[in-house]
A and B are shown apart, each in its own frame.
Chain A
Amino acid sequence: MKRVTTPTLGFLAITAVMMVIALAQRSGSIDRAFAFRGIVACLGLMTLLAGNFLPKLRPLALREGRATRIAGAERRAGWMLVLMGLALVVLALLAPVELTRAIAPIVALVGVGWIELDWIWAAWLSRPTPGEAAVSRSGGEQRIIAAWLLFGLAYLLVTASLKFTFGSAGWARDLGAWIMVGFAFAYSVMQVLVPRQKKKCT
């Protein structure tokens, strides 16, 4: 459980900062542009944090299987999230607000979409061969927590990106929901298709 503590606390701390920024904007203490930069920077930091810890938490490796291929998919997703996070932080701190408003959602949506496709592809390549049996791996609880953190991040990135780009339009919310369904689908396909081998545990 030790490994999950740092990213979870990091997530909570960044969420708290985001809430403070939102409240400060609502009360008029900071202007809209400053709040926007702050929220994008926080999202970037959150993405960076999740990406850094993702290969360590192994959210996909709930069961035994094609270990190297699955680890590769997790590693690529981790690197992608770190690069996305860095890009978001740099945009938030250095780029003009309008440019950030235009590019940050593209960065986030393309990144999440790429991870979805990569996981589906890895799951397809790792599909089981007939006769392979299953057994769960140890450390399942922390992997489930890691998966929930990842879903939380993906939801935040997708909804924030769509809101920044299209405002609060109904169809944008629907699109966000569908992207999240796609993400959940990629994760589920990965869990179902990853082959499992019987092993003797002591």
Chain B
Amino acid sequence: MSKLYIFAIGGTGSRVLKSLTMLLASGVKTRNAFDIVPIIIDPHAANEDLKRTKKILSGYQNIRKKLDANNLKENKGFFHHKITTLDELDGNLSDSFSFGLQDVTQCKFGEYLDYDTMGDSNKDLAELLFSGKSINSLGNEVSLLDVDMDIGFVGNPNIGSVVLNQFKDSEEFKVIASQFNEGDRFFIISSIFGGTGAAGFPTIIKNLRNAIKTNLPNKQIIADSSIGAISVMPYFNIMPSDDSPIKRADFIAKTKSALSYYKDNLTGQAAAINRLYYVMDDFSGTPFENDAGNNGQKNNAHFIELVSALSIIDFMGANNDELSTVNGKAQDPVCKEFSTRSDIGKITFSDLNHITEELISNPLASMMLFKKYLDENIDEVAGDIAWSKNNELLVDSNFLQSTFYRTHLKDFLNHFKEMIEEMSATERSFSPFNIGSDIATLISGKEGKAGWLKRNIKFDSIDAKLNSNSRDKTYSSVEDKLIALFSETMSEVLEENYKIN
């Protein structure tokens, strides 16, 4: 299976990666299957979003380890997508998902350059290139050379471009290169308006396309690889704050500058990217808290992140011949934008375009229903009901006490639910579910009906379906049975009872 290396850069990278993980977990279908290798790039190691994403990715892997690889090959159902860590590829790397940035802890940018020991002209040039002011973690104005590296680049992509360029010499990159095969792809998630993403994006692109000039293995393949990227433009409000270097007007200004730069250096004649996804939202809703970094930057999940994650699904769906690259130049590069059917503050499945709805409504609803079932019904029936006893694989109270169930699965689903809740709480909101209601009205705009009288569906209808679906099936383990059975059943229930295909 070809690999899709996803570079998730900065806070936005982590959040989009989280959304993607949820989409993958819920079993969103892709035309082509990829072994997904996420690499989080963020010097801001204390970033809450980053920590959460890493936890979710671990959870995903832990769940998937117990599942039968063969079942998963059907390219459908919960957790069927393979997510691989870098260290799984090589084993010598320190971190599972993060790219280990060097020399950023307790380090100012000037120290990173070792500015003080440069020759005079180089010093002068550096002083000019990195002129202007930023802000430190205490909210004090500092010059760029004094910016602390470990809170990210605080909106200074020029610094980021220098620091993140260490990527090219990193062990991680060497591992990727050594493992890189024909058909493997890259995808880069970044926001355009921050510091880290805006800087890391072109830096990584340049290093990949520039690989031919290195001594890396597979440098030709890398240089001519298929690269997709999403550039996330401003999509949320932040609280105005005089203390913060992050300002909404800045976001826009930076976006414009960066786009101009992309225009000249990535897209257009540069043709560095095979597929570039643009996304933004100008909805003025509840502002995010303005927090420059350090232990902050824990933001609610947002619909745009989900949309961004969908761009990766879209990219995975493209065929190789659509993404060919010759001599480092993408052939017929494509740019894409996303649309919904309606422009409203509270988006439900039916507000999405038909394709989008078809792609995600059934999986997300399946996962949601699965969560609802586990939360509200399984304790009552486990060990007694047919489906829990079939296949000589007992889903009983013991199993419900297992680490897999209690920690890995429940935690993961909690994150899922949390994400769904967060998305519905932000503005603009994505609110496909009525999370607190019973299952018949769980899905906004879609009532679940069961029986020939088409009464509101209840868990017993689902149990009946589970029972029937579990008959004559072979599962490799209880864990495998639980995931596979529910994946199949929930999807069918949604099709049959909710008319969600």
Do these two chains interact?
Answer: no
B-to-A contact residues, CB < 8 Å: none
